[in-house]
Amino acid sequence: MKPMPCFDTVAKYYDEAFGTAADLGDVEMYKSFARRFGGPVLEIGCGTGRVLKPIADMGIEIDGIDVSEAMISILKSKIADISPMPNICLGDMRRIELTKRYRLVTIPFRTLQHMITIEDKLQALAAAKNHLLDDGHLIFDVAFPNYESLASGFGEETLSAEWRAETKSDKFGRMFFRREGYCQKDQVMIGSLIFRLLDGDNVLNEEIQPLQMHFFSFPEIEALCNSARLEIEEFYGSYDLKPFEENSTQMVFVVKASR
């Protein structure tokens, strides 16, 4: 089993790059599911708490697990005053061994796509399932791929986010994505996230996070769920829970353990 990719580099910039992105509606979606199903909730891949903290602020009991110690450190500083205090654990999503069981387990924002091999995917789904109460639900989302774009534009940098690095300063940060390859057989995109701190046109600092992500088809998710003895109850094509269409960009799954 290969080690999980660690996103300690991303942790430094995650809240600025992703926290205010206008096109991310997943927080409201997961809040609505938390209201619907109730706690306790376990978030797998909780990161810096972009999704976890808003749910905790609703008074819903929620815990989290993530592979990045740096992200967990940032999250813990945000939730220090929340009661009940979420239990935040450092760990691999394929090998979760908590004593607690949950009414809702979530794997938000494409975290499952970091599972590259079939074994990785099945272990991650099994670990999530093993932490469900008998009437519990697992909810996760993945991107619906545009295969034409995945296999093109290699070497190009795409600006993904921009933010002011300091108040009353001309310094600002930018996040770029660079696609570097695509393995069609395994449906794995290979690329890098590039974080640059700039002062005007001058690059003050640059850090790079290598990235590999698997892109799922619906039949693959269906087969994986069947193998993991999970039943798909609901399926959507967007974070605002619209029906799936051929031009959808997301796939959202609500599943439960098969009887």
Q: Per the structure block, which two tokens stand in for 214?
A: 């698997």
CA angle 165, 171, 173 (to 5 degrees): 50
The domain limits of the chain are 8-144+216-257, 147-214
- pLDDT tens-digit map of 59-69: 999 999 999 99
Question: What pLDDT shows up at residue 24?
Answer: 72
How far is the C-alpha of 180 from the C-alpha of 153, rounded, in Å? 8
79 Cβ neighbours under 8 A, 6+ residues apart = 49, 52, 53, 56, 85, 86, 88
Buried-state track 44-58, b at ≥16 Cβ within 10 A, e below 16: bbbbbbbbbbbbbee
Phi, psi (deg, nearest 5) at residue 236: -130, 165
Per-residue pLDDT tens over the stretch 31-63: 999 999 999 999 999 999 999 999 999 999 999
Q: How far apart are CA 55 and CA 39, in angstroms?
A: 10
pLDDT in tens, 178-230: 999 999 999 999 999 999 999 988 999 999 999 999 999 999 999 999 999 99
First-last CA distance in the chain = 30
Q: Does domain 8-144+216-257 have CATH number 3.40.50.150?
A: yes
